[in-house]
Amino acid sequence: MLIIKDLSKSFNKDTEYELNLFNGFNIKIEKNKCTAIIGPNGCGKSTLLNLIGGSIRVDKGQIILDGKDITNYKEEERAKYIGRVYQNPSMGVSPSLTILENMALADKKGEKFILKRLIKKNNIDRYRELLKELNLDLENKLYTKVKYLSGGQRQSLSLIMAAMKIPNLLLLDEHTAALDPKTSNVVMKKTKELIEKYAITTIMISHNMKDAIEYSDRIIMLDKGNVILDVKSSEITENQLIEIYRHKLESAA
Ligand SMILES: Nc1ncnc2c1ncn2[C@@H]1O[C@H](COP(=O)(O)OP(=O)(O)OP(=O)(O)O)[C@@H](O)[C@H]1O
């Protein structure tokens, strides 16, 4: 379980551009469930993931993952427990390294190692098996540099890499937003399969209400750093969600 306790975060403190985004924010994310976070541009979705992942630090509050207080852990330290797939297909992978090298790196995330020594026959066979599951023919491209892959292939690889050492928490930051609808569908289905197969606790940011309902167990809507809706995905339809979204945001304006 992820517990966020009394979290505060502001940007540009003590300047005319000061933005108090989170002010005593609290949330609990259940284990082995997928929670979708939705909300308008600028409501704080990515900042929340950045705070959890450790790419930015909290001003106040605590982040507790499976009973461990990770608030003061550096991003690299948190990477041992947290997998992340970004919106931008170039992030989360090393484009100038091959698929094989990227997978070997993901395999040893958070440990000291020598890359060449990692690439052993039994590991290669294991990586090939994982890639085969994607049905994208990537198992036959092990020696291809990641920069030559399509966006969909990169996001799928990124997903497999993030889940290679089963993370305590998987953060998906609009990871299909840059993909065409067909590829996005394939990657979302693969995401669901992986999450369910390994019972991975997941937080998924999405602007797509249909995906949020279809692929998550719970939906949280944020506005200006506050939770304005918290509902089971099975208890809401896409149209209702769109209506609430519009209504809440109009009344908040
Ligand atoms: N490093 C930063 N410095 C200053 N302001 C920032 C910083 N990071 C985020 N913000 C501001 O915090 C607010 C929330 O941004 P955030 O990226 O979390 O929103 P979001 O909900 O993910 O939006 P989107 O749906 O557009 O991706 C925005 O007003 C943004 O400009």
Tell me the residue type at 115.
Answer: L
Sheet containing strand 2-11, strands side by side: 19-29, 2-11, 60-65, 68-69
**Reported ipTM:** 0.97
**Amino acid 81: pLDDT:** 93
- Residue with CA closest to ligand 1 atom 29: 42
What's the angle, vertex CA 172, arms to CA 138 and CA 201, rounded to 5?
A: 105
- Residue with CA closest to ligand 1 atom 13: 42
- Residue with CA closest to ligand 1 atom 18: 44
**Amino acid 112: pLDDT:** 62
C-alpha of residue 102 to centroid of ligand 1, in Å: 29
β-strands 34-38, 218-223 pairing: parallel
C-alpha of residue 14 to centroid of ligand 1, in Å: 18
pLDDT (mean) for 171-180: 90
At residue 4, the 3 state secondary structure works out as strand
d(CA 219, CA 39): 10
**What is the position in ligand 1's atom list of the atom closest to the CA of 205?**
22
Q: Is 45 in the pocket of ligand 1 (CB under 6 A)?
A: yes
- Residue with CA closest to ligand 1 atom 31: 42
C-alpha of residue 170 to centroid of ligand 1, in Å: 20
pLDDT (mean) for 206-228: 93
Q: Is 52 in the pocket of ligand 1 (CB under 6 A)?
A: no
HSE at residue 228, side-chain half, CA atoms within 13 A, is 21
Give the pLDDT confidence of 33-88 residue by residue, as tens digits: 999 999 988 899 999 999 999 999 999 999 999 999 999 999 989 988 999 998 88
Name the phi and psi angles at 248, rounded to 5: -60, -40
E strand segments, the chain? 2-11, 19-29, 34-38, 60-65, 68-69, 82-85, 169-173, 202-205, 218-223, 226-232
Domain count, the chain: 1
Q: Give the burial string for 182-200 (b: 16+ CB within 10 Å, else e).
A: ebbebbbebbbebbeeeeb
Q: Is 9 in the pocket of ligand 1 (CB under 6 A)?
A: no
- Residue with CA closest to ligand 1 atom 11: 42
d(CA 241, CA 247): 10
- Residue with CA closest to ligand 1 atom 9: 47
Other C-beta atoms within 10 Å of 22: how many? Answer: 24
d(CA 3, CA 23): 16
C-alpha of residue 176 to centroid of ligand 1, in Å: 19
Binned at pLDDT 50, 70 and 90, residue 247 comes out as confident
**pLDDT higher than threshold 80 for residue 253:** no
**Which secondary structure element, helix H or strand E, spans residue 113, and what is its range?**
none
For position 7, which CATH number holds? 3.40.50.300
**Amino acid 118: pLDDT:** 64
C-alpha of residue 208 to centroid of ligand 1, in Å: 19
Q: Is 13 in the pocket of ligand 1 (CB under 6 A)?
A: no
- State CA 250 to chain mean position distance: 29
Give the pLDDT confidence of 104-121 residue by residue, as tens digits: 888 877 666 566 666 677
Q: Is 35 in the pocket of ligand 1 (CB under 6 A)?
A: no
- Residue with CA closest to ligand 1 atom 3: 11
C-alpha of residue 128 to centroid of ligand 1, in Å: 38
Tell me the residue type at 242.
Answer: I
Among 31, 40, 36, 60, smallest CA distance to 49 is for: 36
- Which residues constitute the domain of residue 247? 2-252
d(CA 160, CA 165): 9
Q: Is 92 in the pocket of ligand 1 (CB under 6 A)?
A: no
**pLDDT higher than threshold 70 for residue 238:** yes
